[in-house]
Amino acid sequence: MLGYVPVAFAFGVLGHTAGLPWWAMVAMSAFVYGGSSQFAALQLLAVGAAPYAIVLTTFVVNLRHLLLSAAIAPRLAGWRRREQALFAYELTDEAFAVHSAQYAERAERPKAEVFTFNTAVHASWVAGTLAGVLAGDLVTDVEAWGLDYALPAMFMALLAAGVIADRRGLAVAVVAGGGAVGLTLLGLQYWAVLVAAAVAATFGLAVAEREGRADDGEAVRTEGVPGR
């Protein structure tokens, strides 16, 4: 929630600066509930982009949720379909990071705990947006406050805290980040992040499988050896 509020606050301030009504900003945070896609839509709305362009852009930006959902889906295999749908509705990058870490510690978690967490962080996102809208007149220079950098900063914090735990995680992060930058420079702006993430995830899986085979081979070689 400490990560949600400042970013949502920045979104509310930027929306107010762009001249959008407060209720539209709050409704977007309540129903869209996607930080990067909301910032992208806000920029397009500010320049008067066509509705289809806004919908297509936010759709492409949110395609990363396919990867998030694929990773977390095995944990929800025994849930009812409506429970899975509600969980998916409130699955964001930050929530995914927390759920992944907690499921790694505990294979089973009470549903009440999961949904209470999701609801609390969702509410903090909406509240942060409303606070930003209300404070919009007081913040005249968003760059001076660094609000335009809030979203990238939050993602880097998530990366450092939840992904770069070992050399494999660092390698995956380098492949994803370098690939996204390279593809963007080549002109693949809308698809750069998704393609780079898919390539990096495949790379990480290949490395994990290779390490697993190496560990199995070591176990076979040492089996039956005294003291092993």
pTM here?
0.69
The pLDDT value given to residue 228:
52
Residue type, 127: A
Q: What are 7-54's pLDDT values in tens digits? A: 899 889 888 888 889 999 999 999 999 888 888 888 888 878 888 888
The pairs formed by 66-71 with CB atoms below 8 angstroms and a separation of 24 or more are 67/194, 67/197, 67/198, 67/201, 68/93, 68/96, 71/96, 71/100
